[in-house]
Structure 1
Amino acid sequence: MRILRSIAAVLCVALATQTFAADKKPPPVKPPTKQTQVIRAEVYKKMDVAQKAFEAKDYNGAITALDSMKAGYEKLNDYEKATLWNMYGATFYTKGDTKSAINAYINVLQQKNLPDALRDGGLHTLAQLYFITEEYDKAISVVKKWMAVMTTPQADGYVLMAQAYYQKKNYKQTEVNLLQALQIARTQNIVPKENWLALLRAVFYEEKQYVKSAKVLEILISLYPENGSYWQQLAGMNGLLERQQEQMYILHGAYRAELLKNESDFLNLARLYMVQDIPYPAAQLIARGMKAKVIKINAETLQLYAQALVMAKEYERQIPVLTKLTELTGESKHFVYLAQAYFQIDKWPEAAEALRSALKAKNITKPAEIQVQLGNALYNSGKLEQARDVFAAAAKNPSTAESAKNWVKFVTTEIDRKKALAK
């Protein structure tokens, strides 16, 4: 409880940059002395019939029994009338007739000498019904009346007002009332409810107070760590705040706790690893995700996997990934990537073969540059005559003419040197 009080205190004090005036309730007024009334035996028997029908889910039977009582309405005392309408309200609401339920609770509250329990329950229920029917101003008005007669502050009342203000897009009053509810919860040693904190997070987000929103999410995670959506939201909030390292740590924690379930979360974490220059975990994560079929094997994911592997200098492991990528897409650039991977491990004939495929593949761009790379692969393979021919072809393109001509001269000299040595 000490920890929870600290958490609530963070919300009520540290998150607030200024003190707001919540809807103040006036001090409770001592009610006038009420005449004690009771439900008479003959009335109770009829109510019991209605109650048993209600418990048996025979709602029409319950209403019929209540209508029978209502026939002698003028003979009922105030307490009996209030109880009658209260039973009507519960039955209508359970049947789904919210409009009739509202009218019933209004009738409860109109009775004289109304017992506190029926008055308080009637006000609270009526406020909730107005909220359900989206009559938010009425809901707020009734909640204020309810809290004005309560001797003990009720956090639920402030939360209900906050929810109504939120629906009206009055985010400032939503915030004010939520903070008041959390303050009451702290003083009464009540654990803040999850939906209270979730609403406060949403309010701060709507107000573009992202630091505060992130703070609330941290508290939600500390109280409800099994809810993976809070980890994801906090990671996203840190992304908005351009705190990528913190974003990575949060998603990493969710991953270790096995709370990441969908492909986008896995790939987002992999990219964050790579941005933070720790590519090996990214490659491992993608591999595990593909094996578990969380990550689909397609051009985008294979290319990301290959990129992580090359950043991690895992060149051998990159080869089958890029081979699969070329098979899937048939695109020239992917054959070039495969050739460059072969370059890294000095497999020149394989690199040359990949580059020949790149020159025949679809969506080819900058063929002359590919020819220069092919000439390089052929030269390193010892195929000097073929290399010179490829460089000569590349020399015809203005973008690569200068470097290709230099290569032609260099390879020609090398060919002549070898011929001379052979003689």
Structure 2
Amino acid sequence: MKLNTTQFLKSAALAVPLALSPMAATVVLDAFGVQSSFAKAKAQDEAPQRKTRKTPALSQPVFKKLAVVNALVNPPEDDEDAKPDFDAALAELKKLEAKDAKKWNEYELANLYNTYGFVYYSLENYTQAVKYYKLVIAQSPNIPLGLELSTLYTVAQLQFVSEDYKGALESLQAWFKQQDPLFINADNYALLSQAYYQNKDFDNSLKNIYKAIDLYKEKGKQPKENWYSIALAIEFERENYKEVAGILEILVRTFPKPSYYKQLAGIYGLIGKENDQIYLTDATYVAGMVDKEQEALNLVFMMMGEGYSFRAAKILEKGMDSELIEKTSKNLEHLSNAWLISQETEKAITALTEAAQISNKGDLYARLAGLYVDDNQEKKALEIADKALKLGDINRKDSLYVSIGMANANLGRWQPAINAFREAAKDKRSRAFAENWMKYCQGELEREQKLNS
């Protein structure tokens, strides 16, 4: 269970709307005390009000020059064919910076640099965007506090996207230090958590992501999936498996994905909830979420371990028919064992026959001979046993000779049975059983000889 954290967190930062993407004209209008109806309504709803600063005035000539740039970046809405011309806007900004900016006060410069930053951001030149947004901040304290804070937050986001995680963390820490706690929201804590994560400060990352989650819950909102994913990655890395299970249970309920079901099933196994592991894994199988051979085999082995051999056999059989599970000799052996435990001897023989044909090893044919004896097919058992002996490489020759002895005994072939049991008795693992059968066969042979004399 691992996160591709670099790409995941980078996209997460982009998913948060940039805190600062205003056009120069918006800032200029605010400087002259002109607000849109939306801004007025928002201001009235906010309580308490944000702190304000006294800033230098923004002159009418500067306003007009910046308005020219704004027109290039934000063409009139009634002109459907007009498109933003960021290259032209950039050229105009460079002219202003070279000719006029030396005479401007800090607030006027902040507007210039803010526009620069937005143009470079729009051109996806994040390095230059960060440079100019930092120049906006450098004009503090002669700029509105809101502008400084929003710019600082934007710098953090852009540093994050540029994979400057150390810089992003420093910018966010500075933003949190200056921002009124009443205006810090869950998304802010989530971004701070991501920055800490990338800087390998997992304690602070976990603390802040849980803070983000709690804030959303307090408002009756559903925390975001990627927030839980951050907590999940850290808790898993620390082997806090009970916490991991709790997070995955939430993810399964709210963002049901096959990966979460599979991960949760695995975690249940680690925390001693084997029954829950089996039921959940089987549920994912029934729901069609099991799409890898090893996942299906793991379910088979769990079923076998808990005594659900018939279910295991059906999963194996269906998996092979659908080609999810490869028909290897080993997998067919598993199928044969499952059928045998389920007392489906005929099906067990079919599966083991195919396994033996694929492997062409004497050991599998030896085991197959035993199955034929159990199924009262003595002649077939002897035929298969002979093939096993010819192929060799048999793990338990004593067991094979027991099968040969039993087959011959059932056919009334007492001497061949005695010979086979004598071979089996050479191995101490089968000695007692083989010797008892030798006595029985010897007795039957003598009885038969007396009857025929």
Q: Same fold (TM over 0.5)?
A: yes
What is the rounded CA distance, in whole Å, between the counterparts of 1:172 and 1:116 in structure 2? 31
Q: Point out the more displaced range, 303-312 or 80-89.
A: 80-89
Show the counterpart of 2:132: 104
Q: Does 1:141 align with 2:160?
A: no
Q: Does 1:30 align with 2:77?
A: no
Q: Does 1:49 align with 2:79?
A: no
> What code does the residue aligned with 2:296 have?
F
Specify which of 291, 299, 307 is matched with residue 261 of structure 1.
Answer: 291
Show the counterpart of 1:121: 150
Contact 1:235–1:248 (Cα < 8 Å) also in 2? yes
What SS does structure 1 have at the residue aligned with 2:222?
A: coil
Residues 138 and 313 of structure 1: CA distance in aligned 2, closer, same or farther (over 3 Å):
same
Deviation at 1:378, TM superposition (A): 2.0
Q: Does 1:215 align with 2:246?
A: yes
Contact 2:361–2:393 (Cα < 8 Å) also in 1? yes
> What code does the residue aligned with 1:66 have?
L
Residues 325 and 111 of structure 1: CA distance in aligned 2, closer, same or farther (over 3 Å):
same
What is the rounded CA distance, in whole Å, between the counterparts of 1:411 and 1:270 in structure 2? 42
> What code does the residue aligned with 2:316 have?
I
> What code does the residue aligned with 2:244 have?
S
Q: Point out the more displaced range, 30-39 or 304-313.
A: 30-39
What is the rounded CA distance, in whole Å, between the counterparts of 2:337 and 2:111 in structure 1? 72
* Uncovered stretches (5+) of structure 2, i.e. residues with no partner: 1-47, 76-81
Show the counterpart of 1:309: 339
Aligned-residue RMSD, C-alpha: 3.0
Contact 1:197–1:216 (Cα < 8 Å) also in 2? yes
What is the rounded CA distance, in whole Å, between the counterparts of 1:30 and 1:143 in structure 2? 19
Residues 5-84 of structure 1: matches in 2 within 5 Å? 30-34=51-55, 37=58, 40-51=63-74, 60-71=87-98, 72-74=100-102, 81-84=109-112
Q: Point out the more displaced range, 149-158 or 280-289.
A: 149-158
Residues 86-143 of structure 1 show CA distances to partners (whole Å, capped at 9, x for unaligned) of 4433444455543323212212222355456643432222112333444434322322
Contact 1:50–1:65 (Cα < 8 Å) also in 2? no
Show the counterpart of 1:371: 401
Show the counterpart of 1:89: 117
What is the rounded CA distance, in whole Å, between the counterparts of 2:195 and 2:268 in structure 1? 29
Show the counterpart of 1:153: 184
Contact 1:50–1:63 (Cα < 8 Å) also in 2? no
Specify which of 194, 198, 202 is matched with residue 171 of structure 1.
Answer: 202
TM (norm. structure 1) is 0.82
What is the rounded CA distance, in whole Å, between the counterparts of 1:211 and 1:247 in structure 2? 14
Residues 66 and 386 of structure 1: CA distance in aligned 2, closer, same or farther (over 3 Å):
farther
Q: Point out the more displaced range, 341-350 or 272-281.
A: 341-350
What is the rounded CA distance, in whole Å, between the counterparts of 1:366 and 1:119 in structure 2? 81
Specify which of 121, 130, 136 is matched with residue 159 of structure 2.
Answer: 130
Residues 279 and 378 of structure 1: CA distance in aligned 2, closer, same or farther (over 3 Å):
same
Contact 2:53–2:145 (Cα < 8 Å) also in 1? no
Q: Point out the more displaced range, 247-256 or 212-221.
A: 247-256
What is the rounded CA distance, in whole Å, between the counterparts of 1:214 and 1:253 in structure 2? 17
Contact 2:133–2:151 (Cα < 8 Å) also in 1? yes
TM (norm. structure 2) is 0.77
What is the rounded CA distance, in whole Å, between the counterparts of 2:184 and 2:267 in structure 1? 33
What is the rounded CA distance, in whole Å, between the counterparts of 2:104 and 2:324 in structure 1? 67
What is the rounded CA distance, in whole Å, between the counterparts of 2:313 and 2:84 in structure 1? 58
What is the rounded CA distance, in whole Å, between the counterparts of 2:232 and 2:392 in structure 1? 49
Contact 1:171–1:206 (Cα < 8 Å) also in 2? no
Contact 2:73–2:84 (Cα < 8 Å) also in 1? no
Identity over aligned residues, as a percent? 29
What is the rounded CA distance, in whole Å, between the counterparts of 2:446 and 2:363 in structure 1? 35
Show the counterpart of 1:18: none
What is the rounded CA distance, in whole Å, between the counterparts of 2:196 and 2:124 in structure 1? 25
Q: Does 1:232 align with 2:253?
A: no
What is the rounded CA distance, in whole Å, between the counterparts of 1:61 and 1:337 in structure 2? 83
Q: Does 1:280 align with 2:310?
A: yes
What is the rounded CA distance, in whole Å, between the counterparts of 1:305 and 1:348 in structure 2? 23
Q: Does 1:331 align with 2:347?
A: no
Specify which of 264, 272, 281 is matched with residue 242 of structure 1.
Answer: 272
Residues 69 and 259 of structure 1: CA distance in aligned 2, closer, same or farther (over 3 Å):
farther
Deviation at 1:214, TM superposition (A): 0.6
What is the rounded CA distance, in whole Å, between the counterparts of 2:320 and 2:201 in structure 1? 45
What is the rounded CA distance, in whole Å, between the counterparts of 2:266 and 2:118 in structure 1? 43
What is the rounded CA distance, in whole Å, between the counterparts of 2:352 and 2:57 in structure 1? 86
Residues 334 and 180 of structure 1: CA distance in aligned 2, closer, same or farther (over 3 Å):
same
Show the counterpart of 1:192: 223
> What code does the residue aligned with 1:70 have?
E
Residues 356-375 of structure 1 show CA distances to partners (whole Å, capped at 9, x for unaligned) of 22222253223233222211
What SS does structure 1 have at the residue aligned with 2:239?
A: coil
What is the rounded CA distance, in whole Å, between the counterparts of 1:58 and 1:301 in structure 2? 65
Deviation at 1:186, TM superposition (A): 1.5
Q: How many residues align?
A: 394
Q: Does 1:291 align with 2:312?
A: no
What SS does structure 2 have at the residue aligned with 1:40?
A: helix
What SS does structure 1 have at the residue aligned with 2:393?
A: coil
Deviation at 1:29, TM superposition (A): 7.1
Contact 1:158–1:181 (Cα < 8 Å) also in 2? yes
What is the rounded CA distance, in whole Å, between the counterparts of 1:66 and 1:362 in structure 2? 88
What SS does structure 1 have at the residue aligned with 2:183?
A: coil
* Uncovered stretches (5+) of structure 1, i.e. residues with no partner: 1-26
Deviation at 1:194, TM superposition (A): 0.7
